[in-house]
Structure 1
Amino acid sequence: MPLENTTVASPKTWETTSTPAPSAAPPPAQPDPETPPSKGRGWLGWLIAALLIGALVFVKMKYFPSNAAGDKKGGDKGAAGKGGPAADGAGKGGKGGGGGGPLPVQVYVVKATNLTDEVAATGSVLPEESVVIKSELSGKITSLNIKEGQSVSKGQLLFSINADEAQAAIRKQEYNIKLFRDQERRQRILLDKEYISAQEYEQSNNQLLTAQADLQALRATLSKAYVRAPFAGVLGLTTATVGTYVSPGAEITTLSRVKPVKIDFAVPGRFATNVKVGDVVSVLDEATSKKYDAKVYAIDPQIDPVSRTQPVRARYANANNELRPGAFVRVNLQLGETTSALQVPTESVIPEASGYSVYTVKRNKMVPKKVKIGIRSDKVIQITDGLAVGDSVLRTGILQVKPGDRVKVAK
């Protein structure tokens, strides 16, 4: 079969200058090798967020567990049901025990008691009489009759000072007086006969009177050389001996009368009107812890403006020298006694800016009350207003409760 020469048509071409080529679908975009895929970025963000949330939850549970505990209590309350033990502990007992039930406390039931109204004070023992024996003249001691710590009677000679000069002056003055007396007698005779004037006689008589007065002064000076006990008492210690030269004002010894003794003390000014002469006070000697009864015999008319106290003095017989002058004593002055006093323990009374208060218990709840106090001691305080017999006053747990808190009285 003969081959026919056929002409193959050339492919059709498009002129780029006249007709644009048809648009084709763009090839799929290839990811940039330098940019991470978006799916990896989202996974990393979720991981960081989860770590932050976990850290916050850990901090909350570690350092702020209150909400968790509250949620647990709420769950317990729901589980226990209304009126159950958990509900009672979490709800009603929330105030008194911080959510753990009523606070156990101890109370004191107020009752009427006997109370002695007395004033306590500190005092000192004073001798009934006391004097420092001194020399009024200068000279040497020629005799010494002082026995230290021994009793002497009134007027007994204690010591004497050399008085030779005074004695000589007295003898001289006695001679002058004798002369002046003779002159006065002769002048009186002449006056009676009117040989002299009255003025001349008066001059002679005046000389006699003056000499007699000088003699009395010399005798008084001589008496100072012999020192005697002004009253009966007990002598103190001395450093003087025979031959010691003393000057005027030199202290030789002391003399004290210690039977009886005085008790010097002071009471607060508000009790000044309650103290009367004749009241009996109880005196406690700190050295021996023995008590003695003394009687008030003098009250100072003025209150001390510095200490605002009333000075008072009592006297004790001290027959056996029980109290020594200078000793420190405690004095209790009884002002009266009552049989219906209300007293509470000292720890139950709370001082405040406006007064005092106590915490009472009513229906298992704490209720504060304002009170007025009276006599107080180391253990109890008298309540004059604000309480009644039968009230229960807190003794413990005072710092842990607030008004309205539930408490449980310990048996």
Structure 2
Amino acid sequence: MNKTVKISLIVVALAALTYLIVTKAFPGNEQQQAGPANGPMAQKVAVDVYVVSPTAYQNKITSTGTVLANEEVELFSEVAGRVTGISFEEGTRVQKGKLLLTVNDLEMRAQLQKLESNQKLYRDMEERQRVLLEKEYISRQEYDQVSNQLATATADIRALKATLDKAYIRAPFDGVIGLRQVSEGSYVTANTPIARIVDISPVKIEFSVPGRYAQQVTEGQKITFTTEGASEVYEANIYAIDPNIDPATRTLRVRARYENKKEEVKPGAFVRVELSLKDVDDAILIPTESIIPEATGHKVFLAKGGKAQPKMVKIGQRSETMIQIMEGIEPGDTIISSGILQARPGSDLNIRNVRTAE
């Protein structure tokens, strides 16, 4: 047992002696194994920077939208019955008030004829009773009885005529009527769709803009738009702005009107919209790759005193290569434009290239 302890002590002593010899022979070895003396910040981060200066900027909002018909309605019959006449051709233009479809009206016409006959009878009776009343041959009560019968017959005729008028479906406005859903002889109810009529000259362009531009969008402003699959650029005028910003999307709905005289722009089409705002003579623009999205907003790294300094910013419009900064950056600031993935707050910087606004 004593022999084993002695051997263990000798092994430990030899290991300690070997460590001291190696440490003295290679004094930098311990530090290299332990890592840089000042931690990860001791190594400089290679970056390119961009020096900010005021730049003239044509402020534009780019958005997407949809083409809406100026007016659009699905036609239904207000009375149930069998279709006895169709007076339109599918896909043709119709004028307001044109008769489009007739629902069976024979029974209502017969009732109307009966009521009109009764009305004539009561009118003749009322005239005779009035003469007798003036001569005081009858009482006021007897005259009032006939007079009420005449008034009731007249009211019944008006009500029936209003119902009869519903049997004739007419165009509510000038427009193009689409494909019909019924045939002559079919039975329709209030839930049976007949056809759709749309007014496509002019058309409406509906799109949304970020809520922060709400004060800069006004009625009468011009927009340009293109339709999907076409290169032609059209021009329209804003005529209506939603009074509320959508709390879910933080956007403002806007509508513009395009005359569409040739009817080449069809409702339902997808469009790309450009709205020019007031040009800015001293805009702050930086490269888009300098922006770091975060949960609470957007961040950039400034190069100050050879070190990286984070800064929260408020962004505006962007182009393919540049983005407008509304708040957080001043002219003369130096922005890190490349190497931002390696940069950390307080990182020492090795600036390779300096770029300025053209």
TM-score range, shorter chain: 0.7 to 0.9
Report the TM-score when normalising by structure 2: 0.80
The letter for the 2-side match of 1:205 is S
1:281 has 2:223 as partner: yes
Compared CA separation, residues 190 and 374, structure 1 to 2 (3 A):
same
1:139 to partner: Cα distance: 1.7
Query: After superposition, where does 1:91-240 map in structure 2 within 5 Å?
Result: 98=43, 104-240=46-182
Compared CA separation, residues 394 and 367, structure 1 to 2 (3 A):
same
Distance across 2 between alignment mates of 1:56 and 1:288: 79
Counterpart for residue 300 of structure 1? 242
Distance across 1 between alignment mates of 2:251 and 2:349: 46
Counterpart for residue 344 of structure 1? 286
Distance across 2 between alignment mates of 1:312 and 1:137: 38
The letter for the 2-side match of 1:217 is A
SS in 1 for 2:118: helix
Counterpart for residue 16 of structure 1? none
1:407 has 2:322 as partner: no
CA contact (8 A) 2:297 2:314 kept: no
1:186 to partner: Cα distance: 1.2
Compared CA separation, residues 127 and 217, structure 1 to 2 (3 A):
same
The letter for the 1-side match of 2:214 is A
1:46 to partner: Cα distance: 11
Q: Which runs of 5+ in 1 are unaligned?
A: 1-37, 72-89
Compared CA separation, residues 215 and 55, structure 1 to 2 (3 A):
farther
SS in 2 for 1:288: coil
1:244 has 2:158 as partner: no
1:393 has 2:354 as partner: no
The letter for the 2-side match of 1:330 is R
Distance across 2 between alignment mates of 1:141 and 1:297: 41
Distance across 1 between alignment mates of 2:180 and 2:17: 96
Counterpart for residue 313 of structure 2? 372
RMSD: 3.8
The letter for the 2-side match of 1:409 is R
Query: After superposition, where does 1:70-81 map in structure 2 within 5 Å?
Result: none
Distance across 1 between alignment mates of 2:29 and 2:292: 38
CA contact (8 A) 1:266 1:309 kept: yes
Q: CA offsets, 1:141-164, max 9 Å, x none?
A: 111123222211112221112211
The letter for the 2-side match of 1:150 is T
Between structures 1 and 2, the one with greater strand share = 2
Distance across 2 between alignment mates of 1:223 and 1:66: 108
1:68 has 2:20 as partner: no
CA contact (8 A) 1:95 1:405 kept: no
SS in 1 for 2:262: coil
Distance across 2 between alignment mates of 1:269 and 1:49: 75
Counterpart for residue 81 of structure 1? none
Identity across matched positions, percent: 42
The letter for the 1-side match of 2:311 is K
Distance across 1 between alignment mates of 2:8 and 2:194: 109
SS in 1 for 2:278: strand
